[in-house]
Amino acid sequence: MRANRTLEIGTGLFVLLGFAALVFLTTQLPSSGLKLSSAKSGYRVTAEFDNIGDLKSGAPVTMAGVRIGEVESVGIDPQTYRALVTLRIDPQYNQIPDDSDAAINTQGLLGGQYVAIGPGGSEMYLMNGSRIQFTQNALVLENIINKLFASFAGKSSESSPSSGGNGGGAASGTGASSPGNHSGGGAGGKTGHR
């Protein structure tokens, strides 16, 4: 009886520790936007995008694959109605040219999104309050798949009428009339080049 009670208490503590670890790890994910650590030093720059996809606060900011900061906030610019992203850059990276560009990339096929900064060639550097002028929007996987399906649907709908047109072209090509032969041959020639 006593051994059974000890086993129940041990199992309960193990489950509680598991839940505590899960809550801690969840708050540390970049996509959650929640952090238990204090505010970090560095300087802030902003960038505007037409579409940021699934970019969240806390996502990494990288240059040449090296993490140099993080996304501090994401919002909408009330004048331009574009996404306004604030980036916090670590203080040791204080010589980034001010004509650098920012692109939203994806870590792997289904990974989280992050901001990659490509260096420019200017002699002036980004500083606190600067705005990155050259930006590249996020590639949204759903939009790419929709375009791919639309192009397949367009090709299949084109191929069914053109196969009927070829049959008509072949039939008119056997006729004796000169205009029918000319148009039939022209249609057959176009289809052959496709």
CA atoms of 66 and 20, how far apart (whole Å): 31
Please compute the mean of the pLDDT values over residues 84-93 and round it to a whole number: 96
Closest CA relative to residue 72, chosen from 98, 99, 39 = 39
Do 53 and 130 lie in a common domain? Answer: yes
pLDDT at 176 over 50: no
Q: Identify the domain containing residue 51 by its residue range.
A: 39-139
User: Is the pTM higher than 0.85?
Assistant: no
Q: What is the pLDDT of residues 117-141, one digit of tens each?
A: 999 999 999 999 999 999 998 877 6
pLDDT at 185 over 90: no
For the chain, the domain total comes to 3
The per-residue pLDDT for 48 is 95
Q: What is the pLDDT of residues 24-34, one digit of tens each?
A: 776 655 544 45
The per-residue pLDDT for 46 is 96
Q: How far is CA 17 from CA 22, 27, 29, 137, in A?
A: 9, 16, 19, 41
The per-residue pLDDT for 139 is 77
Please compute the mean of the pLDDT values over residues 33-47 and round it to a whole number: 74
Do 72 and 132 lie in a common domain? Answer: yes
Do 53 and 128 lie in a common domain? Answer: yes
Do 121 and 172 lie in a common domain? Answer: no
Copy the structure tokens of residue 48.
Answer: 């505007």
Do 152 and 122 lie in a common domain? Answer: no
The per-residue pLDDT for 155 is 77
